[in-house]
Structure formats: structure tokens, C-alpha cells
Amino acid sequence: MAEIHDLDATDASNVARFPENQSPSSLNNGARALEGILARWEEDTNTSIAATLSGSLLTLTTGRASLTLTGTTSNYIADLMVGFTLGANPNTGPLRATINSIGPIEVRDRRGVSLSSSVLQSGDRVLMVKDAGNDYFRVLFPETAVPPVAEQRAPTVQVFTGSGTWTKPAGVTKAQVTVVGGGGGGGGASSSASTRTGTGGGGGGTAIEMLDVTGTSSETVTVGAGGSGNSGAAGSDGGTSSFGALCSATGGTGGKPAGGGTDVGVAGGAGSGGDINLDGGSGAPGQVAGGNSAGGAGGGSYLAGESQQTLVNVTGQAGKNYGGGGQGAAGTSGDNTARAGGAGAGGIVVVWEY
């Protein structure tokens, strides 16, 4: 029995039912046969066929008796479409189908992925098509036969201003880590009758890295402290910040005291191990003019601008958050008072989670 796949897209080639000079009775029979071909195709694709499902085995019988070219699953008609309504039970695993007693053949989703349990439910109207190059059917409808794409996780952030442990939240596979070292303390001004200035502390370095944390559950976080500003003496260096052994950033150098070579600045810290590594700003030397003095500005960091120069006869101000160097102290002639440079700002570790 001929079916719709036997028809030719070229009109003149369809001569089996309508030969030239045929008798009226054969014309009637040819027209009826053509109507039967169309009706069987429509029935097989409008999802009206009742299909039974036992476990993962689907069984259905189509109106078209011949759906394979040689009676095997590997020779189904090219781009064959079959529709059916599913019976009482959902599938319990990768689905297979027996059609007109031939099979079983696997049934997958429209992307060619095996169907998981209970994706197809009782009463679902299903339309599937034979894959052109593989020995399985693809479900075109309903869309419930396509496993939903996982919702994208909203980014979260953990901020460390003190040392601790980063613990990966559920669902996180990537992390962008920014580590900033502590700022160096500003140089102090000694007790002296001369005009004197301390150098500002250097800013903390920075490392920024995007990490694959699929196989990581936690990492040790170290946050470098800001260097202290010491009375009449050099400032202390800022501490190093790190994210495990993956990336780190050293702190800024402590500022020099008055009379300790304050005509030159001090270096900022440096990042290492990151995709981007940045140096902190240098601590600036102080200035003396006309018997007046100003302590040096503290160096800036990736997250902090540099501090301003101090006024005369004052203690240096603290560095700016995060990782900024402290200001140098200053004194004028006849002041005779020791003063401390400003403390450097502590570092920080910021972890964005995706």
C-alpha cells in the first residue's frame, strides 16, 4: 500500500493512481486511495494515536503500516514524523519505542539528549521525528520533553577586611578574586629644632584573578594589616594579603622619618599570581619651603586614592581605605616635638562568586 512518502513532489511523476486514459472506475479508486494516504498521514501526526508505556518502553500502532524501508529500526523513512497521546504512566528512564511491532528504537529530546525519568507525563500529546543521521527519534513537542536549562546563578560576593576562610557557596563554579595589601605607615618627625618632614607610606599592591573553583571547597584568606606610623621614626611596612597560594599582594613600604633620606619617596606594594597585577602608589617625600614643612602624601592603591600632604606641626593622617599609605608627619624650626606618621590602611580581599 502506498503512503504519503511514496508521493512525488513533481506532479507529473504521480502516475500510479492516475495513469493516462484510465477508466472512470479506476479514477474513482485512485482518488479514494489518495484520500486514504492523506488521512492516514494526518492521523499519524495529529497526536490522536493512543500509545501505551510500560516503564521505559513505548508501544504504538500507526495508521500507516509501512514506516521502514526494510522492516528494521535503522531504515525508517527519512524525516518520518509520528504523533501520539501518552497513556497512564510517565516514563521511568531513557525512553524506547516499538512502532508497528518494529523496534525498540530510542526516543530522545529535540537536542538528541536521552530523556530523563518522568519527563513525559500521562496525557502528553507528543510529536517526534526520526533523526536524519542517527538511529533514534527526537521529540519536537511538548517542550517539557526538553530538560530545562539551569537558571543562571546570580553573582554573590564575600568581602574580607580581616583574615579568615572563604567557603564556596552551592552552585558556584567561578570566582573573581581581588586582593589588596596593606598600606605602609607614614614616616614620623623627630623631636628637633630644625624643620623636618616624614615620607608618606607606600600604597598596597593589588592582584586580580578569575578562578575556576569547581574542585575547590574553601581557601584561606589573609588580609594584610596597615603599617603603623611611629613617633619620630620610620613607618612600618604594610602586610601582605593573599587568597590561598593562588594570588597575593604585598603591602606598601613604611615612610622614612625626617632626616632619613626624605628627599625620595618609598615604593608601593606589588601584586603577584593574578591575571592582573598592580603596584601600589609610591609614598611621596615631604616638602620644606621658607621654614615651613609638609609631610609627604601616602601612596594610593587600586581601591584608595593617595592621601594629601600634612600641614606643619601635625601628626600624619591615616591612609585611605583600602591599602592607602599613611601621611608623613611634619615639624618646623623650634618646634622640638616628636610626631608620628599616619597609620597605613588595612588591605582587603573581595571574592565575587559566579
Q: Are residues 53 and 186 in the same domain?
A: no
Buried b (16+ CB within 10 A) or exposed e, 219-231: bebbbbbbbbbbb
Q: Are residues 90 and 154 in the same domain?
A: no
How far apart are alpha carbons 182 and 205 in whole angstroms?
8
**Does residue 353 register a pLDDT over 70?**
yes
Q: Are residues 291 and 311 in the same domain?
A: yes
| Residue after which a domain boundary falls, among 145, 177, 201 | 145
Which of 178, 228, 159, 160 lies closest to 198, judged by CA?
A: 228
Instruction: Report the mean per-residue pLDDT for the chain.
Output: 86
Q: Are residues 154 and 136 in the same domain?
A: no
User: What letter does residue 247 receive in the DSSP assignment?
Assistant: E
Domain count across the chain: 2
How far apart are alpha carbons 326 and 178 in whole angstroms?
22
Q: Are residues 231 and 196 in the same domain?
A: yes
How far apart are alpha carbons 328 and 65 in whole angstroms?
95
Find the angle CA(45)-CA(49)-CA(55) to the nearest 5 degrees.
115
Number of Cα atoms under 13 Å in the Cβ half of residue 197: 27
pLDDT at 119: 78
How far apart are alpha carbons 338 and 243 in whole angstroms?
39
How far apart are alpha carbons 260 and 59 in whole angstroms?
92
Q: Give residue 176's pLDDT band: very low, low, confident or very high (50, 70, 90).
A: very high
Range name among 18-27, 123-132, 302-311 with the lowest pLDDT average = 302-311
Q: Are residues 244 and 137 in the same domain?
A: no
Q: Are residues 107 and 154 in the same domain?
A: no
Q: Give residue 223's pLDDT band: very low, low, confident or very high (50, 70, 90).
A: very high
Q: Which of 44-48, 101-105, 201-205, 292-296 has the highest mean pLDDT?
A: 201-205
Q: Give residue 312's pLDDT band: very low, low, confident or very high (50, 70, 90).
A: low
Domain span including residue 234? 150-354
Q: Are residues 169 and 98 in the same domain?
A: no
Q: Give residue 73's pLDDT band: very low, low, confident or very high (50, 70, 90).
A: low
Q: Which of 63-67, 120-124, 133-137 has the highest mean pLDDT?
A: 133-137
Q: Are residues 210 and 85 in the same domain?
A: no
Q: Which residue has the higher pLDDT, 117 or 275?
A: 275
What does the H/E/C string look like for 69-130?
Answer: CCCCHHHECCCCEEEEEECCCCCCCCEEEEECCEEEEEEECCCCCECCCCCCCCCCEEEEEE
Q: Are residues 158 and 84 in the same domain?
A: no
- Check whether the bond before 169 is cis (ω within 30° of 0): no
**Does residue 2 register a pLDDT over 70?**
yes
How far apart are alpha carbons 16 and 309 in whole angstroms?
101
Whether residue 130 contacts residue 78, with contact meaning beta carbons closer than 8 Å, is answered with yes
Q: Give residue 4's pLDDT band: very low, low, confident or very high (50, 70, 90).
A: confident
| Residue after which a domain boundary falls, among 145, 166, 186 | 145
Of all residues in the chain, the percent with pLDDT exceeding 70 is: 89
Dig out the grid coordinates for 33 from the structure: 486511495
Q: Are residues 304 and 274 in the same domain?
A: yes
Query: What's the whole-model pTM score?
Result: 0.60
Q: Are residues 184 and 105 in the same domain?
A: no
Average pLDDT over residues 269-275: 98
Q: Which amino acid is residue 227, in one-letter code?
A: G
Q: Which amino acid is residue 59, in one-letter code?
A: T
Dig out the grid coordinates for 259 from the structure: 632626616
**Sequence-ordered list of residues with C-beta below 8 angstroms from that of 197, at least 6 positions apart, any chain:** 189, 258, 262, 285, 286, 287, 288, 293, 294, 295, 296, 328, 329, 330, 331
| Residue after which a domain boundary falls, among 145, 165, 188 | 145
Average pLDDT over residues 193-200: 81
**Sequence-ordered list of residues with C-beta below 8 angstroms from that of 216, at least 6 positions apart, any chain:** 168
In this structure, the dihedral spanned by the alpha carbons of residues 33, 36, 41 and 47, taken in order and rounded to 10 degrees, is: -170
